Structure 1
Amino acid sequence: MATLLISDLHLHPGAPAITQGFLNWLDERATGAEALYILGDFFEAWIGDDLLDLGDADPTGNAPLARRIAEALKRLADQGTAIYLMHGNRDFLLGERFAREAGASLLPDPSLVTLGDERVLLMHGDSLCTRDEAYMAFRAQSRQAEWQAQVLAMPIGERIELARQLRDQSGEANSNKAEDIMDVTPDEVVASLQQHGVTTLIHGHTHRPDVHELEVDGRPARRYVLGDWQPERGWEIVAAPGEGLTLRDFPLPGQ
């Protein structure tokens, strides 16, 4: 039984092809998997688990989408696949209620897991981009429990507007940043591997899928970067018994 890892689907009502492609992928690819790890930015935005209460009354369309996704994940979990959700920089307010209704467990960032016979470090990846000082300052603020509690106490309409503003600000800021600033800091990658005593790292966030060979304390190491999903293509890492880790892209089922 294989374990599957994905990241950066950025699900939202404006990208129905990705949503349907993911649902098809769950049925055609993930069914029978031992485990599924979703390493952040599963949703383009998440304003709080009480979004699930809005149903079709949600003017943004996110509530029915979230309900549909939760139900699909729960069906997979009920068939025996363990599902793990990690927060990303877009959906860091994803909470225990959604995880419970999806039959999933929230996974800390970073986390050490065993894939096959190897200990592997899993991260979303945004914490590795330390050269982006403005983002790192926002990240530190947005991960504070007090800040999150203040946001979640706001009326849903205000949270929807805040999410829109943050997305617009992020897009404008990123358009003016050098490409290397938005990528990981190599020294931070090495430090993270050293801190956790492993030689394999898997993350998403940068939308730059690749497998990077490096060296940590004289030992060969690898950094696997998951790609972001597009209407016509998805990315996954497959951890199969006796086969190690394989990064692959694929046409989305049904496209």
Structure 2
Amino acid sequence: MSTLFISDLHLDDSRPHITALFEHYLVSDEVRRADALYILGDLVEAWVGDDDDAELPRRIARATSAVRDAGVPVYFIVGNRDFLLGEAFATRAGFTLVEDGAVHDLYGTPTLLMHGDVLCTDDVAYQQLRRQLRSPEWKAQVLAMPLDARRALAAKARAESRNYTSGADETLMDVNADAVAHAMRHAGVTHLIHGHTHRPAIHHFELDGQTAERIVLGDWYDQGSVLYVTPDERTLRGLPA
């Protein structure tokens, strides 16, 4: 019995070996025998809409729908790179979309599941931008644009993001401890799994007199990263590129 978690794959045509690694992993016995697969956001480097007719979305949909067809449910939380992903693509890809901040029971342990960017509250500029981009009005306006215009907008946003993160204080882009505690208290849990920060680790700390656990998933820029959850343990492992 195992449930698998991945995030921050940032699949992109510029790194075909990572897309191939993703496809190879999804046909492995490990995945096909799992109880469930969770993808906690940033599956791709940029998502321009469910009507994107490029090859990469088609490859993703083929790979993940095959997992679903093998009897393994696939759950997906959107991240800051793919927040425009909607029900149309989720249906094609065999995803069940899950709200950021949902609590799922993992073998008797209620666990808060998040992408993780909302926890980076020290980065005030990012949080302001996030609220704007996640508004229904902004998303509707962008999705009404022609596909080529959306692709150009995504390329511009990626360049601006690279420039911003290259000059930003590293501590700003990590989670805020108070934000973590608030989210866990609000959810009524002592276990949290998230991605986004690309700092894979299992953190243990005290929360209101109880031992709490926060697991950060790794990114897939150079190799794969998977969290294995069983009834008895939670283990982060890397996949060779």
Of residues 132, 136, 139, the one that matches 2:130 is 139
Once the two structures are TM-superposed, the CA of residue 240 in structure 1 deviates from its matched residue by 1.4
Once the two structures are TM-superposed, the CA of residue 244 in structure 1 deviates from its matched residue by 2.5
Of residues 218, 234, 238, the one that matches 1:245 is 234
Once the two structures are TM-superposed, the CA of residue 205 in structure 1 deviates from its matched residue by 0.3
Maintained 8 Å contact 1:116/1:244: no
What is the RMSD of the two structures over their aligned residues, measured on CA atoms?
A: 0.9
2: CA distance, partners of 1:166 / 1:97:
24
SS in 2 for 1:50: coil
Give the structure 2 partner of residue 19 of structure 1: 19
Give the structure 1 partner of residue 65 of structure 2: 74
2: CA distance, partners of 1:175 / 1:64:
30
Alignment of 1:75-224 (within 5 A): 75-224=66-215
Give the structure 1 partner of residue 55 of structure 2: 64
Once the two structures are TM-superposed, the CA of residue 92 in structure 1 deviates from its matched residue by 0.5
Give the structure 2 partner of residue 9 of structure 1: 9
Maintained 8 Å contact 1:234/1:249: yes
2: CA distance, partners of 1:230 / 1:127:
22
Once the two structures are TM-superposed, the CA of residue 250 in structure 1 deviates from its matched residue by 2.5
Maintained 8 Å contact 2:10/2:221: no
SS in 1 for 2:196: coil
TM-score calculated relative to the size of structure 1 = 0.92
| Structure 1: gaps of 5 or more residues | 55-62
Runs of 4+ aligned residues of structure 1 deviating over 3 Å after TM superposition are none
| Structure 2: gaps of 5 or more residues | none
How many residue pairs get matched?
Answer: 240
SS in 2 for 1:47: coil
CA offsets 1:62-103 (integer angstroms, 9 cap, x no match): x11110110111111011000011110111001111110111
